[in-house]
Amino acid sequence: MRPHPPRMADRQPEGLVAPQLLESLLGELHEEFDYQVGRVGKKRARWRHWRGCWAFSGPASSADPSLFIHFQTRPIGYAII
């Protein structure tokens, strides 16, 4: 039985990558995972898959930032007592 990449890692880029790019991005990451399983083993390949999902989830990974969904974050306030 062939090992599968972590499902939770595949969900990471869903909210950050434009929908038209998500399928091709995950396809590339899954191909790389299959290659890495044969090269470095299942455990290390899973770790690298997680890292790949995080790396491709940010706007810095595209030359065209309009392909990414922009969201606003609000600052977190800290109370000093």
Return averaged pLDDT per consecutive 10 residues of the chain, 81 residues in all.
85 80 86 90 91 70 52 49 50
Distance of alpha carbon 24 from alpha carbon 19, whole angstroms: 10
Domain contains 32: yes
Residue keyed to tokens 């810095």: 60
Domain contains 29: yes
Domain contains 49: yes
Domain contains 41: yes
Q: Residue 66: its pLDDT value, please?
A: 55
Domain count, the chain: 1
Range of the domain at 38: 25-55
Left if phi > 0, otherwise alpha if psi is -120 to 50, otherwise beta: which for 41? left
Distance of alpha carbon 26 from alpha carbon 29, whole angstroms: 5
Whole-model pTM: value is: 0.65
Domain contains 50: yes
Q: Residue 71: its pLDDT value, please?
A: 46
Q: Residue 14: its pLDDT value, please?
A: 80
